[in-house]
Amino acid sequence: MDIQQFIWESIVNLYGQEVQLSQIQLQKTKKEFKGHFTLVVFPLLKISKKNPEQTATEVGQYLIGKTTLISEFNVVKGFLNLSIAPAYWVNLLNEINRVKQYGMQFAGDDAPLVMIEYSSPNTNKPLHLGHIRNNLLGYSLAEIMKANGYKVVKTNIVNDRGIHICKSMLAWEKWGNGETPQSSGKKGDHLIGDYYVKFDREYKKELAASEATGLTKKEAEENSVLMAEAREMLRKWEAGDTHTVALWEKMNSWVYAGFEETYKVLGVNFDKIYYESQTYLEGKEKVMEGLEKNIFYQKDDSSVWADLTADGLDEKLLLRADGTSVYMTQDIGTAKLRFDDFPINKMVYVVGNEQNYHFQVLALLLDKLGFEFGKGLVHFSYGMVELPEGKMKSREGTVVDADDLIEEMIKTAAETSEELGKLDGYSEEEAAEVSRIVGLGALKYFILKVDPRKNMVFNPKESIDFNGNTGPFIQYTYARIQSVLRKAATSATDTQSSDDSVSDTPLNEKETNLIRLLSEFPAVVREAAESFSPAVIANYIYDLVKEYNQFYHDYSILREENEKIRKFRLILSQNVGKVIKTGFALLGIDVPERM
């Protein structure tokens, strides 16, 4: 902005005419040219009434004569490349160094409140790899929004009712023989997931047997005894049948305990958890209210619908003919309870892209029902995550279980670290903690560095690599910086003064690039919030670390004989470490102090 202001002043003084700041187009100078920032001259030619090269040269000469901010310039066709003076970069580093929580804004009393929903598990199966991406994106987005000065409420909606839940319940009742998490040694969510798979297998056997008698697939499905029993169990649950509700409560309690273990290990949490069993009736009430106000309409079979054709969509079922609710009804009820509980300014749903249409409809319905955040709701639509082997299927038991994956990542991190000698001299407890941090860091970073809107393939082996664009590579660089700082603090050559700042120092290109990258961090945090993309921060941190490692390779720090330069490089390293730690915290990733 300082440069923009000086350029604006140069145009007024050179050509006697004011311009809009938006016409002063500044961008980073391309690597093949000398300079830090480049002014695109073409929008100014109507004012200068001169050719591009002459205009650029005149502006460059004016800047050199009027400000010490610009040390030199060069002109390439219609582009003015500007080099920033070393003293400016040194002062900028001092400013960054003075701010402990650099890049972060904090919410004031009147800050808008953003509610972010993520996780949204079903209580008929354990969390899997797809849930991991969802949880990591949701938690990271919440931290990023907080860093941009918003109040944030992290929320979860647990899908704890419906036919899929009854399938697990029915299978356990038929074939469980009283098995519990304690008797089986399994986490509760895993145990219930096994019975969901069991139901599907028995159901397929039943269909195959029926089709063998000459029935069509559709006829076999219509005549399924198992599915009829599951539907009857759902009817009893909705009617409040004592036995069915007691079974539901017992089995769900096992699942909740299992989920909580997984969330704790993964490092995610929630401020408020809602349950569909508590929200679907609220949704039915809001739908009936909408029916009374002629927002919705009822068909002859008593089903309730919303006609959205005037909005470019179709007609949407809200209540079935038998009065039971659908997912849309439940989402309306959940929104109602949330709006009662919190003064929501913006609602963000972290849900996969297969639900894009659902959230288009939900936004319209909430708006028609009078919810202030309705039309402005955000569907943070992310792509699917697959393994190199392909897609996963829950009911067939071919998903990658979240707990198994986390355990495997930590185990692989331990083996890889040990092979590379990164755990030498560590106690067993220290080695286990570093392996946990590295394993989870590898998992989280590999998922979060990808643009959330894209489908991705998660490759566990690639994610643990200590080289390249990986979590362990960045974590190791952070630990290396901390090692340098510890050695400096205990060394006779320690140059850290009480004011912890540096004066004018000659800078090399690598040092200038590092300060420039550090200066971009606040803008990166803003961009991540505006684009709803943790990947913006992840890839920025990688670029910073890559640049630091080149600097570390080319220049000495502790062995630098010039005391002034040594102190400058220590403060530069310290602030690179600070930004790595802050950026990784926004991704929900820890960094080890030693490695």
Sheet containing 304-307: which strands, arranged edge to edge? 297-298, 304-307, 315-319
User: Any idea what the Cα angle at residue 324 is, between residues 318 and 327, rounded to 5°?
Assistant: 50
Q: How many C-beta neighbours within 10 Å does residue 249 have?
A: 11
Alpha carbon distances (Å) from 138 to 41, 112, 316? 42, 18, 28
Q: Write out the two tokens for 140.
A: 């990271």
Query: What predicted TM-score, i.e. pTM, was given to this entire model?
Result: 0.90
**Amino acid present at 26:** L
- Closest Cα to residue 259, out of 156, 336, 164, 343? 156
Alpha carbon distances (Å) from 570 to 136, 145, 237, 355, 514? 33, 31, 65, 49, 13
**What 8-state DSSP symbol labels residue 311?**
G
Sign of CA dihedral 21, 23, 24, 27: positive
**Complete DSSP assignment for 33-81:** SS-SEEEE-GGGHHHH-S-HHHHHHHHHHHHHHH-TTEEEEEEETTEEE
First and final C-alpha spacing in the chain: 40
How far apart CA 466 and CA 463 sit, in angstroms, is 9
Please say whether the beta carbons of 255 and 192 come within 8 A.
yes
Q: Which residues contact 427 (CB under 8 A, 6 or more apart)?
A: none
Backbone angles phi, psi at 73, to 5 degrees: -145, 160
Extract long-range pairs of 294-302: CB within 8 Å, 24+ residues apart: 295/368, 295/369
- Closest Cα to residue 406, out of 451, 438, 430, 449? 438
Q: How many C-beta neighbours within 10 Å does residue 92 have?
A: 15
Give all domains of the chain, ordered by start, each with its CATH number. 2-84 (3.30.1360.70), 113-288+329-386 (3.40.50.620), 410-586 (1.10.730.10)
- Closest Cα to residue 229, out of 292, 168, 289, 272? 168
Q: Write out the two tokens for 201.
A: 């297998």
Q: Which residues of the chain have pLDDT under 50?
A: 391-397, 494-498
How far apart CA 411 and CA 144 sit, in angstroms, is 30
Residue 457 host element (H or E) = strand 456-457
Query: What is residue 420's predicted lDDT score, i.e. its pLDDT?
Result: 86
How far apart CA 594 and CA 321 sit, in angstroms, is 63
Q: Which residues contact 430 (CB under 8 A, 6 or more apart)?
A: 423, 594
How far apart CA 64 and CA 187 sit, in angstroms, is 69
Per DSSP, the three-state class of 386 is strand
Q: At what angle do helices 563-586 and 471-490 cross, to 10 degrees?
A: 140
Rg (CA), the chain: 30
